[in-house]
Amino acid sequence: MDQGTVIQLGHNTLMVAIMMAAPLLGVTLVVGIAISIFQAVTQINEMTLTFVPKVLAVFVVLVVFGPWMLSTMIGFTTRLFDYLPELVR
């Protein structure tokens, strides 16, 4: 296994990790900013007001993007296992 192979494998791993995290983090960011603006406008400082909508948004994102995330992870793992004999050499 040469240096280029290790770099390519690390690159692919990081890209899959970013693709898995991006929908969850993006929606959580948008919901958090919207709740913060709402709290600033109404001057309501309730902790559950920030926590519950984020949890619900993450749940919705997992329901919507879950099949895509699962197929992406299965595809990456399959490619990794198919490539494993070439890594051993």
Q: What pLDDT digit, counting tens, does each position of 23-54 carry?
A: 999 999 999 999 999 998 998 888 788 889 99
10 Å CB burial of residue 19 (0-12, 13-18, 19+) is middle
In a domain, 88, yes or no: no
Tell whether 51 is covered by a domain.
Answer: yes
What is the C-alpha to C-alpha distance for residues 89 and 85, in angstroms, rounded to an integer?
7
Compute the distance between CA of residue 81 and CA of residue 75 in angstroms, rounded to an integer. 10
Number of domains the chain contains = 1
Q: What average pLDDT does this structure show over 54-61?
A: 95
| Residue 43, in any domain of the structure | yes
Q: Does 48 map to a domain?
A: yes
Whole-model pTM above 0.75?
A: yes
Residue 73 lies in a domain: yes
Decide if 36 is inside a domain.
yes
Domain that holds residue 70: 16-80
In a domain, 20, yes or no: yes
